[in-house]
Chains A and B, each alone.
Chain A
Amino acid sequence: MPPVIEFADVTYSAGGRAILRDFNLRVEEAETLVLLGRSGSGKTTALKLVNGLLMPERGKVLVEGKPTAEWDLVRLRRRIGYVIQEAGLFPHFTVRDNVGLVPRLELWDQPRIESRVDDLLAKVGLPPVEYAARYPHQLSGGQRQRTGVARALAIDPPILLFDEPFGAVDPVTRNDLQKQFLGLRDTLRKTSLFVTHDTREALRVGSRIALLSGGQLIFLGSGDEFMRSQDPEAQAFLETIATPHTN
């Protein structure tokens, strides 16, 4: 089976600096591939190349076998749910309207949108009776993030992109969100690309881990393989979760 997302010799630069260099990666159906790396390693750029927010300078990014340059970008983006840090919710829309936006753009009828929004809000742990009518500024950070996830799932897209979705919440909330993510991951079985700089999060949510450094892929493998990697950059990330020795 061909990969759902494929980076083929992709180079992308901005302001004269190469962000990604000869980058190759295949994301298989129904896996959650984590892009792990420091700030500036190119992981967010890789994500934005998938939904056409950025276009490769050289090489190709193929989604479902077709280069992004050949996709109708609106069609492409409707097949991809996108969750970002701080959720990027529309501040002038209620939770209901935020989650129901893409179905509305897809011209679903009103009763179908309503019931879909109710289902999704319940699924992400925001009882609609209590939360649907609220505005984003009336939610906690964790609740905003949940709304962002519900919005990304609205029309059941086959592909999901996560850009440090849980980076701006406290550790306890992050733990809850990760648990919920795992539940959704295992029931929905979407093809997901998940960007983080948190080693523990990468090991927890990813079925595979891709480690980026300086715009290049330097490790690709399962969590167990990552734990055993001797690569210095992988070691640096593993050190962040090492249990300190006590005397």
Chain B
Amino acid sequence: MESEQFREILSLSLEHIVLVGVSIAMACLIAIPGAIALSRNPGPRRISIALANILQTIPSLALFGFLIPIPIIGGIGKRTAIVALVVYALLPLLRNTLAGILGVDPAVRESAIAMGMTPGQVLRQVELPLAAPTIMAGLRIATVTSIGTAVIAAAIGGGGLGVLIFRGISFNDSGQILSGAVPAAIMALLADEGLGWLERRFSRHG
């Protein structure tokens, strides 16, 4: 019985990590190229940030609810949970990537161009490396937040550690609640530490 409970915590933790990992990876794939494009186009920049801001303000439980009736991306299950987690991860990633790129010293960018670097070389060799610490900070915020938000995913059948917490609430079993909450908290702390370490490595020479 003891070991069976332990196995369940372990497998739900794994599910939680997959949920967060997939969502963050997808959010990166959208937000980072998106921010690069927006850094070149001041027009759509404001609108996109405003939109991401608005999405961020939707309470997570409500967002999960809204998504359920939507075809293809909605429904009950992991897919809907991932869509919602991606939405929440977009803003910190988008905003930090933009801030990092736009924060590059104009004199540095100009001398890169004046040395005959192509736009792609300026981006890869100058802008992205200099923006890396800020982008990493965004990734850290997005990941830690996402680990917490993913708990709610259990409410719509997304699985993860939220399963234990919701079950604990309905049975009024605080042990059960803790068996979900403690691993989630540890996960968040580890992610925070690990990504913080990476962030510092990237900013060594900044």
Decide whether A and B are members of one complex. Answer: yes
Query: Chain A interface (Cβ within 8 Å of chain B)?
Result: 51, 53, 73-78, 80, 82, 84-92, 101-102, 105, 135, 137, 151
A102–B112 alpha-carbon span in the complex (Å): 10
- Please, which residue of chain B has its CB at the minimum distance from the CB of A76? B116
How many chain B residues sit at the interface, stated as a range, is: 10 to 19
- Please, which residue of chain B has its CB at the minimum distance from the CB of A97? B125
- A105 touching B205 by the CB < 8 A rule? no
- B114 touching A77 by the CB < 8 A rule? yes
- B108 touching A77 by the CB < 8 A rule? no
- B205 touching A101 by the CB < 8 A rule? no
A80–B115 alpha-carbon span in the complex (Å): 8
Contacts A53-B110, A86-B107, A88-B107; A102 near B205 (Cβ below 8 A) = no
Min CB distance, B31 to chain A, in Å?
22
Contacts of B114 in A (CB 8 A): 51, 53, 77, 80, 82
- B115 touching A102 by the CB < 8 A rule? yes
CB within 8 Å of A: which B86-141 residues: 105, 107-108, 110-118, 121, 126, 129-130
Q: Which of A75, A87, A88 contacts B116 (CB 8 A)?
A: A75
A98–B5 alpha-carbon span in the complex (Å): 58
Contacts of B205 in A (CB 8 A): 91-92, 135, 137
- B206 touching A77 by the CB < 8 A rule? no
Query: Chain B interface (Cβ within 8 Å of chain A)?
Result: 105, 107-108, 110-118, 121, 126, 129-130, 205-206
- A91 touching B107 by the CB < 8 A rule? no
- A84 touching B130 by the CB < 8 A rule? no
Supply 26 A–B pairs (Cβ within 8 Å), ascending by A: A51-B114, A53-B110, A73-B116, A74-B117, A77-B113, A77-B114, A78-B116, A82-B114, A82-B115, A84-B107, A85-B107, A86-B107, A87-B111, A88-B105, A88-B107, A88-B110, A90-B112, A90-B126, A91-B108, A92-B129, A92-B205, A92-B206, A102-B116, A105-B116, A137-B205, A151-B115
A53-B110, A88-B108, A90-B112 are known contacts; what are 19 more A-B pairs with Cβ within 8 Å? Answer: A53-B114, A74-B117, A77-B115, A77-B116, A78-B115, A78-B116, A80-B114, A82-B114, A82-B115, A84-B107, A84-B111, A86-B107, A87-B111, A88-B111, A91-B105, A92-B130, A92-B205, A101-B115, A137-B205
- A74 touching B130 by the CB < 8 A rule? no
A77–B117 alpha-carbon span in the complex (Å): 9
A101–B108 alpha-carbon span in the complex (Å): 13
Contacts of A101 in B (CB 8 A): 115
A88–B122 alpha-carbon span in the complex (Å): 14
A239–B121 alpha-carbon span in the complex (Å): 46
